[in-house]
Amino acid sequence: MVYLFSKADERPALDMLARRLRRLGLVVVELGLGGKDLAERFVSFTEGSVLIAFALREAPSQLPALVREAERRGGTSILISDAPGYHFRPAPTHLLVAQRGDDSEYNTLIIPIAIAYALQLAIFHLDPDRYGAVRDDINDVSRLVGGTDEIPLR
């Protein structure tokens, strides 16, 4: 399972990443910001689970505890940041950093969204037959309920 976490400002990028990962057939859990809600959703995190978090400009206050707990449970943590040279503690398993620009007053979510698409494509190319079959199944169910096909992910 994939667990996603961000501050409220980064929620559009997180929601888009959740949708892209679901289109690969992955089970996605979007973590809330509140203590009890966050804990209820995170309690099923186990070995083999992945925590993907956004830390744009600054890290959410709950993030160090989440990364530490993900590590303790044997899972993986991926942190997406826009601050080059950022030294997050505890260190996540993977740190993806891309600067969003010089104007800190006007930083859009284009770069984090591009990273989210890159993650989706990287996962797809790990096992294109499997994820292609999932995509076809999603299209079949979509047609069944009156939807339309997606543009192929290639």
pLDDT tens string 66-114? 999 999 999 999 999 887 777 788 999 999 988 776 666 667 788 888 9
| pLDDT at 35 (0 to 100) | 81
Query: Could you give the domains of the chain?
Result: 2-144 (3.40.50.10490)
Q: Which has the higher per-residue pLDDT, 132 or 70?
A: 70
- The pTM assigned to this predicted structure is 0.86
Amino acid at 102: D
- Mean pLDDT, the chain, whole residue set: 87
pLDDT tens string 28-51? 999 987 789 999 999 999 999 999
**What are the distances in angstroms from CA 133 to CA 19, 44, 70, 104, 150?**
17, 27, 30, 42, 13
What mean pLDDT is predicted for residues 60-64? 89
Query: Could you count the other beta carbons within 10 Å of the beta carbon of residue 6?
Result: 24
Q: Mind spelling out the 3-state secondary structure of the chain?
A: CEEEECCHHHHHHHHHHHHHHHCCCCCEEECCCCHHHHHHHHCCCCCCCEEEEEECCCCCCCHHHHHHHHHHCCCEEEEEECCCCCCCCCCCCEEEECCCCCCCCCCCCHHHHHHHHHHHHHHHHHCHHHHHHHHHHHHHHHHHCCCCCCCCCC
Q: How confident is the model at residue 122 (pLDDT cuts 50, 70, 90)?
A: very high
| pLDDT at 22 (0 to 100) | 93
Q: Which has the higher per-residue pLDDT, 15 or 107?
A: 15
Q: Is residue 150's pLDDT more than 70?
A: no
Q: How confident is the model at residue 56 (pLDDT cuts 50, 70, 90)?
A: confident
